[in-house]
Structure 1
Amino acid sequence: MNHSASAGLIVLTTLCLLLLSACGSSSSSTPEDPVAVLSSDRTSLPMGESVLFDASGSTPGVGNSLSYSWTLLSQPVGSTVTLVCEESELHSAQESQDGEGEEEQQPAESADCMNDAIRKLYTDLPGAYEVNVQVADSRASTHARQTINATNTEPVAVITPVPSTAYLGWVQLDGSHSAAPTDGDAAELTYAWSLTVPAASDTSLDNFTAVNPRFLADAEGTYTVSLVVRHGDTYSAPAHVEIDISAVNAIPVADVGGTQEGSDRVYRVNRGETVTLDGTGSTDADGDDLAYSWRFVGEYETFPIVPTGSQVMELTDARSATPSFIPDMAGTWYVELHVHDGLSRSQPATAKVIVTKPEDAPNTRPVLVANTKPTYVEANVIHRLVDWFDAYDIDGDTLTFTYTWLEKPSGNTDPLNWNPQGIIIAAPGTYTVSIVANDGHEDSEPLEITLQASVGGLANTRPVAEVVVPVSTALTGQVVLLDGTKSYDPDDDQIFWQWSWIERPVGSNTDFLDGTATMSRAEFIPDVPGAYIAALSVTDSQGAVSVPWQVSRQNHATSLKTATILAKEQNHAPVLNPGFTHSGGVRLHQLGRVRQQGLYSPVVLAEGKILPAVNMLAGGFDPDGDRLYYNWTLEEQPADSTAELSLWGRLESGTEPDSAAALENINQPGLYRIKVEASDGLEEALPQYLSFTVHSREDGNWPGVLMERIEADGEQIVLRLADDQWNDRSLPEGTIGSATSGTCARQSRENTPTLIEMNQAGGWTIDEHIRLTAGQGQAYTIADLQLVARNEELAAVIPSPSILGIQNGDTITEAGTAVRFWIPALPEGDQYASYVSTSYPNNYNFDLSFRIVETGQFIDSCLIRASAWRD
């Protein structure tokens, strides 16, 4: 026998046995996982053509078949294409208007794809498309991705996002995603917008050549927006968007009635007489039927409260337009009215009810009542005795108080007298005090309060109720969650929750779902539209209760935790109109008005400098008046940028948290792009974007003319060097002392935005130097140079200011031109000095204005505003 052959046979036999053993023992081994393989028939193609994605090379695990799940992960902004079957073909969709139209190529509809392993994609915009395929067998899954790029030889106009519906008011448009030819510079695009409006509309675009124009939709109907972009000598095909504008629901207005006394609505009545409130003046601009909701409130509190000692628990017919009650105490009562039109709730309207004692009524002695505050206290801590009792006088008389120690530990020497800041209970032990109130006529019955003082945190304190409402708006029939899990006990005692109703709409039979009224999270289902107001109280294991909702005005117990849910049968999605704000030093102007969206004046940043912040507003609007929740994302910034988004809450009274943000510490030139999102808890607004480009001072690539403040160093004019970061700022428009530069940006209208304001305190003289420098290698001509006093009467009695270094017809180039702007001082003792300082102490003001002309086509206006005043 051949021994080598025999040995090989043994090895082969052994290998086969091992393989057979492996194949036959499914319980002791795991099949191989599937492998995903994805390819495309090309990775670069002209825009408008199709590409095939093929995953047929994927393999399953042993003995299994594959299934495929396809996703288009990303595509150019504005693209609307989806993955289609391999068999799908383009067909022409003829869109005609008045007999004319243009053909739009669309994928033909087809049955379910016969071959799941292959998908087709028709590209509709230039840019990158990323596709993902998930392959799975019966045991496992995996995925593969492929990216292709669509190219273009001509510019492409893109309007994003496309708001197919909107409401009366401002409508924001965005052309910033328009594309230059492949390998071209999008910064070189120019824009030409047009707008077709309904017959009843008298609106127009606020700027026809801006990247981000807007218009005021002033009538219902269809508005058609078109955009053509130009790159060099090449024009794009027009992009069209139709926007259907409808009226929003008018939020009703509550009228609480009464007579107007100063800024208050007031009812006056004697104690014991019926007072009838009148809400019939409430209105709804849509003519909707109104539901009324009245309640007592405190002067400072927003929850139900009546004067201490009153037996009046609620208004009679509180859900009618004309409720009533009989006040049993003199003093000032407060009532609040909301009206609801089935979709939106009004802002509250509040009235005072001033109740006086009847003239023939005898005096009634005051009353003292102990309250529910725990009587175990901490020693060596300041305590306010007024926290342990309530006092009232039904005649409304002013009360004074007398305090007497009945018992106290020998170690306590603190005097006992009325002190709003409280007294220090120094030593542990028992303290008993007698309190008597006097109304100027007679004393109350004495009230004794006993406090047990201890040290080391042995005294019990009230737990604290905290309520979180994840979403304050709901649809009827939906489960609503109220969250009290943030409630706590300062002593770490166990706490128990109790939810109760303060208000439910008329006709509502809802209640907390089974068991949840005593849980940390309560649930209910609103059954009719309107406001649902719930209150939470918590009790600790020693019986101490958080501040109840029916409390006295003397305690000013504003720590009550309530939740208000507004329920409705239908919802309208919110809309966003974000923009930059002049708050914090950034002031952006376009056509002489504050610009709400988009930077028209370019930002220029010198090397090594930092722009501290660009401030932004979300500009959220909810048609139903619902509260909005915001999210901000910095989606794009230059490499090595240290810029960070900072959410700084409400910018203006009445706006929601996170409705304002700032992009801080901008240190790099380049494009910055911020995404703004908003939700009313039921639907999300169409996301919007804020973007701006920071240009490099050293590269000279800004459009238009850069205006910088400089200073004279002997005969040499140099850039002013600042000692603090505020003077280092280069902004589109700023205040001298807050910023050092601005730009005259190209516009197609002859308006005059203020670029620099110079303010000189401590004297009358202004002597400033400014340099004008053209960007992008352009040249501009100075025209219509003017220096005008803003007060004609003052101009007649003061010396004329001067402009040195610039005159009409001068050319501004990239070499720069220095300008001296000089307002002379009034001579001391001058006959006009006293007149000016007396009659116009803060009005020694001039406007220096001029226009810059580029090739006779674009005319821009720049304004330097100067003011001088004495300290």
Structure 2
Amino acid sequence: MGSAAELSDEAGAQPTFTADLPGTYEADLVVNDGTADSGHDAVTIIATNPDPVAIAETEYHVLIGTTVMLDGSGSVPPTGGDTAQLVYNWYLQDLPAGSTASLAQTGTGLTSFYADMAGTYTAILTVDYQEKTSEPLTVTIVAGNANSKPVADAGGPYTIERGQTLTLDGTGSSDADNDQLSYRWYLMSPGHDAASAAIWIPNGSALTLDNGLQGYDTANPTLTPDVAGNWSAYLVVHDGTSISNLSSASITVTKPEGAENTPPVASFYSKPRVGFIAPVPTDEVELGSTVWSSGNSYDIDGTNISSSNRRYQWITTPAGYDAEDLTGKGSFSFTPTVEGQYTVEMTVNDGEADSDPARRTFIARTGANRAPSPRITVDSQTILVGEAGWFDGSESTDPDDNALTYHWHLLDKPDGSTAQLQFQNVTRTDGTVLNNARAGVVADQPGIYIVLLAVTDSHGVTSSLTSTYYGRVLAKSRNNPPVIGSINNDNDHLVNRRRNTHFNDSDQPYVIDDGSEPVLLYTQNAVDPDLDTLYYLWTLEQPAGSELPDASVDATFTVGKPLVAGNYTATAIVSDGIDTSEPHILNFKTVQRADYPSLLLEDYHSAGTVNSWDRVMQNGFATGMPGEAPRQRAFPYWDHADNSFPITSFQLVEGDNAIKNYRLTAFGSDYTVINVRTSAPRRSGTESFSAKFAGLTEGQVIQRGESIDFSLILTAPANADEVMGNVGPDPDLPEGSYDRGNALIGMTYTFEIAEKPGWTFEYAPSSR
């Protein structure tokens, strides 16, 4: 429970996943030969944890003005450890603009804070166990000012015997506003506006996506599984305004105790998981190409049908084909070298009984027909009641460029709805008309509308019916428009605040230079009060001769590197599909380096330092711009880098180590450096690290036209390994002690510019 692990490629031969929580993981494999699915084959992976693991709910949706409870008490110690010895560390890292929220306590499993502003709050949890510390866990809390997102809870896991009726339990679902909930259960996972989804009904079942769950629109639907194996059900709840995220429940179906053995069924074709269209597979295969077909046999008792219990024999092959002897082969493949019909017979065994034999005839020819594939795009994920939601299937494809017929099915609609599908044609640019390629539904009730799409080619061959392509829209009876707090290009909302390069300051314009970084524009606190999906539209006005992109629909607008000096204006709006926000405008200026008007700060990211983040920047992994040219930064400057790029004891030499190198260049006037300070954590009884600047002193004047280079120096003791290995806060020194993995944690380097109040420099890495 709580794991977010997922396969890297559900359609790949060798997918991977990250075991993010300790425990038991099970992966289920089904293969398809283009016509039919194989049986299921499962593998179990047990993940242990040598370090403690922070565990908490990672996503909350709440109303402004509520107290948010954060619970990390489910965290676990290293495998075999004592939970009572865990030490909890909470940190409220990011807040919406203007918020003064703070945590009630930080050293306990349970903590809370008051959500005083709309926007996103980010809390970080780590847990310590003796000398070990967990990886940080990020908890995101989104506060809205109109509606809180409901939370679905599908219950489970469930176990039941085949043929018995299971009652699922969604009564644990909740809504922070106490709104009445409507329930929708599915045997697939409709978590997007449009996508392909697996249908979690084992092969051999007579049930389909349409009829598998009785009372699917209640909190307690029932399922009577007719095949032993692994099933899954998914729950979405709706509060009249917003829909929840998906909640899944695993269902293990076992053979009834004492039941007699049921012979398996040999089949080259899997049963369809939908009932609105009959399957028509293609049996044509390409002449000269190897054909694999292990079949889609099954056993309702749950026995896995694999190569060890399959047998094949040839029935007929064309004259002139040298047929291989299939005796003893548990998998079947052949390469047709002669046009004609190839018929093979398969028998399977469950360890006790043989199946009836099944036959399949392959027709080999040049230019064999292949099955088409459906695809849906949604015009708008959110609509108002009385409006039409449209689903577009015109991007469906056929590998042989055959004409397609579109088969639409309205799988689900809200309680009380009598809506029916209507259709539109699509005319391509070449004049081809795609009949009924679009389907729409006029929403007559608030809630979820889901359509399915299958396609057939001009030979009548259908797309796969063991999975489905769906589209989903949410209809609302009223809507609150989204808002944008601000837009910027200084990256100050990122967790790793390394790149504050805000060019919307008239004194600090963007420098056109080989070492300059691309301009990236962001929205700050783009919030939809109803928590609807947001759509972005950026536009950019630019000087004559500039060839940057003039628009973007991404949340982050990657403008690129301006090459023309002048004034630029970026405008952003967001839409929830119904209403749009007020536009927000950001102006910035670009200049040649010689025309810079003030004090220019640049980061060398010098390759000679021990700082691994600088080496990443030098290689161009972060910016796509390798090279040693200094990169522009802006005041107020900060680097609150996290622990992702540590400086460990083995990287240090005894004495002075340059950990960062910078340059200051004065344009327009002289500038005075004041309040030059450094600090480092101390530990009584041991020789400790110290910090200092090189090349920068208190009261130093940087004269107009002058550049100075300065470094941040970490002075390491001879016993650096001992100091960093002795972790834990010093009770006599409130600032704490060294992080065992990063000598920079707790170091601070600061200064100010006398002529520019507010122009501060701060390098202060933090572990949290």
TM bucket (normalised to shorter chain) is: 0.5 to 0.7
1:274 aligns with 2:170: no
Kindly indicate whether the alpha-carbon contact (under 8 Å) linking 1:756 and 1:863 is maintained by their aligned counterparts in 2.
no
Shift of 1:392: 1.7
SS of the counterpart of 2:266?
A: strand
Preserved CA contact (<8 Å) 1:755 1:862: no
**1:862 correspondence with 2:767:** no
1:663 corresponds to 2:563: no
What amino acid maps onto 1:309 in structure 2?
A: G
Give the 3-state SS of the residue equivalent to 1:698 in structure 2. Answer: helix
Structure 2: how far apart are the matches of 1:644 and 1:756? 33
Contact persistence 1:616–1:660 (CA under 8 A): yes
Task: Give, in whole Å, the separation in 2 of the partners of 1:420 and 1:338.
Answer: 41
> CA separation in 1, counterparts of 2:418 and 2:390?
18
- How far apart, CA to CA, are the structure 1 residues paired with 2:607 and 2:171? 70
Q: Is the 8 A contact 1:755 1:863 kept in 2?
A: no
Contact 1:609 1:728 in 2 (8 A): no
How far apart are the structure 2 equivalents of 1:710 and 1:271?
Answer: 64
2:197 to 302, 306, 309: 302
Counterpart residue type for residue 331 of structure 1? G
User: Are residues 352 and 462 of structure 1, via their aligned partners in 2, closer, same or farther at CA, if it must alter by over 3 Å?
Assistant: same
State the 1:621 CA deviation. Answer: 3.2
Which of 598, 608, 631 is residue 537 of structure 2 equivalent to?
631
What do the CA deviations read for 1:459-479 (whole angstroms, capped 9, x no partner)? Answer: 222233232322222222223
Q: Is the 8 A contact 1:851 1:859 kept in 2?
A: no
Alignment-derived partner of residue 242 in structure 1: none
Q: Structure 1 counterpart of 2:284, which letter?
A: Y
CA distance in 2 between counterparts of 1:724 and 1:601 reads 32
- One of 328, 333, 348 as aligned partner of 2:226: 328
The Cα shift of 1:337 comes to 1.0
CA contact 2:197–2:469 (8 Å) conserved in 1: no
Output the amino acid matched with 1:851. F
**Cα deviation per residue 1:551-590 (whole Å; 9 max; x = unaligned)?**
2xxxxx4xx32221212222222223464578xxx67899
Q: 491, 513, 519: which is aligned to 1:614?
A: 519
Cα separation, 2, equivalents of 1:728 and 1:603: 27
Q: Distance in 2 between matches of 1:744 and 1:488?
A: 50
8 Å Cα contact 2:619/2:627 also seen in 1:
no
The residue that corresponds to 1:442 in the other structure is: 353
Q: For residue 624 of structure 1, what is the amino acid of its counterpart? A: D
- Cα distance in 2, alignment partners of residues 623 and 449 from structure 1: 57
> How far 1:613 moved relative to its partner?
1.5
Q: Using CA pairs below 8 Å that are at least 6 residues apart, which structure has the higher relative contact order?
A: 2
Contact 2:240 2:447 in 1 (8 A): yes
Find the counterpart in structure 2 of residue 522 from structure 1.
439
Q: 668, 672, 691: which one pairs with 1:780?
A: 672
Which of 698, 702, 706 matches 1:808?
698
2:265 is the alignment partner of 1:367: yes
Deviation at 1:664, TM superposition (A): 0.9
- By how many angstroms is 1:283 displaced? 1.2
The change in CA–CA distance for 1:588 and 1:306 in structure 2 (over 3 A counts) is: closer
Q: Does 1:537 align with 2:470?
A: no
3-state SS in 2 of match to 1:519: strand
Deviation at 1:449, TM superposition (A): 0.8
Identity %: 29
Partner of 1:572: 480
1: distance between equivalents of 2:166 and 2:607?
Answer: 76
Residues 406 and 821 of structure 1: CA distance in aligned 2, closer, same or farther (over 3 Å): same
Other structure's SS at 1:309 match: coil
Structure 1, residues 416-457: CA drift from partner, whole Å, max 9, x if none? 5878896543443221111122222222211111101012x1
Matched position secondary structure for 2:313: strand
2:304 matched to which residue of 1? 398
CA contact (8 A) 1:499 1:536 kept: yes
User: Do 2:266 and 2:296's aligned partners in 1 also have CA atoms closer than 8 Å?
Assistant: yes
Give me the whole-angstrom Cα distance separating, in 2, the residues matched to 1:665 and 1:735: 11
Partner of 2:245: 347
Q: Which consecutive residues of structure 2, in runs of 5 or more, have no partner in the other structure?
A: 1-62, 66-95, 101-113, 119-142, 270-279, 426-433, 609-613, 727-738
Q: TM-score, normalised by structure 1?
A: 0.58
CA contact (8 A) 2:647 2:742 kept: no
Indicate how the Cα distance of structure 1 residues 543 and 589 shifts in structure 2: closer, same or farther if over 3 A, else same. Answer: closer
Residues 602 and 693, structure 1, Cα contact 8 Å, conserved in 2:
no
CA drift of 1:311 comes to 2.7
- Give the equivalent residue in structure 1 for 2:150: 252
1:197 is matched with none
Greater shift after overlay, 406-415 or 440-449? 406-415
- Deviation digits for residues 586-627 of structure 1 (CA, Å, limit 9, x no counterpart): 678999899899857976666652534222334543333333
Q: Quick check: 1:451 aligned with 2:362? A: yes
Q: Which residue of 2 aligns with 1:379?
A: 287
Aligned to 1:319: 217
Verify the 8 A CA contact 2:509 2:590 in the aligned structure 1: yes
Matched, 1:686 2:577: no
Q: Relative to 1, partners in 2 of residues 1:605 and 1:622: Cα closer, same or farther, differing over 3 Å?
A: closer
Structure 1 match to 2:76: none
User: Structure 1 pair 497/203, CA: closer, same or farther in 2 (3 Å)?
Assistant: closer
Q: Distance in 1 between matches of 2:511 and 2:185?
A: 60
CA distance in structure 2 between the partners assigned to 1:381 and 1:819 by the alignment: 66
Please, which moves more after superposition, 364-373 or 571-580? 571-580
- After the TM superposition, which residues 65-104 of structure 1 pair with which residues of structure 2 at under 5 Å, given as runs? none
Partner of 1:501: 410
The structure-2 alpha-carbon separation of the partners of 1:425 and 1:680, relative to structure 1 and needing over 3 Å to count, comes to farther
Q: Which residue number in structure 1 is paired with residue 388 of structure 2?
A: 479
User: Are the structure 2 counterparts of residues 360 and 407 from structure 1 closer, same or farther at C-alpha, using a change threshold of 3 Å?
Assistant: same
Greater Cα shift, 792-801 or 371-380:
792-801
Query: Following TM superposition, by how much is the alpha carbon of 1:307 offset from its aligned partner in structure 2, in angstroms?
Result: 1.9
Is 1:411 aligned to 2:321, yes or no? yes
Counterpart of 1:792? 682
Q: Does the Cα contact within 8 Å between 1:481 and 1:522 map onto a contact in 2?
A: yes
Q: Partners of 1:546 and 1:627 in 2: how far apart?
A: 30
* SS in structure 1 at match of 2:201: coil
- Partners of 1:414 and 1:381 lie apart in 2 by 16
Distance change >3 Å, CA 434–CA 572, structure 1 → 2: same
Distance 1:524 1:537 in 2: 17
Shift of 1:366: 1.0
Q: How does 1:184-263 map to 2 (within 5 A)?
A: 204=98, 218=116, 247-258=145-156
What do the CA deviations read for 1:234-255 (whole angstroms, capped 9, x no partner)?
xxxxxxxxxxx99212221111
1:699-718 correspondence runs (5 A): 699-702=595-598, 704=599, 706-709=601-604
1:760 Cα deviation (Å)?
7.4
Please name the residue that 2:749 is paired with: 849
Distance 2:447 2:577 in 1: 16
Q: In the superposition, relative to structure 1, how do residues 632 and 542 fare at CA in structure 2: closer, same or farther (>3 Å)?
A: same
User: What is the SS of the residue equivalent to 1:338?
Assistant: strand
Looking at structure 1, the residues matched to 673 and 476 of structure 2 have their Cα atoms a distance apart, in angstroms, of 61
Pick which of 323-332 and 676-685 moved more: 676-685
Distance (Å, rounded) in 1 between the aligned partners of 2:220 and 2:495 = 51
Whether the 8 Å CA contact 1:578–1:597 is kept in 2: the answer is: no
Say which SS state the counterpart of residue 392 (structure 1) adopts.
coil
**What is the CA–CA distance in structure 1 between the aligned matches of 2:298 and 2:331, rounded to whole Å?**
18
CA distance in 1, matches of 2:551, 2:323: 53
**Against the structure 1 CA distance between its residues 269 and 218, is the aligned structure 2 distance closer, same or farther, given a 3 Å change threshold?**
same
Is the CA contact 1:646–1:664 (under 8 Å) kept in the aligned structure 2?
no
Are 1:292 and 1:320, in contact at CA under 8 Å, matched by a contact in 2?
A: yes
Rounded to whole Å, the distance in 1 between the matches of 2:267 and 2:494 is 62
In the alignment, is the contact (CA less than 8 A) between 1:203 and 1:218 conserved in 2? no
Partner of 1:291: 182
Cα distance 1:792–1:744, how it changes in 2: closer, same or farther (>3 A)? farther
- Asked whether the 8 Å contact 1:330–1:357 carries over to 2, the reply is yes
Aligned residue for 1:283, secondary structure, equals coil
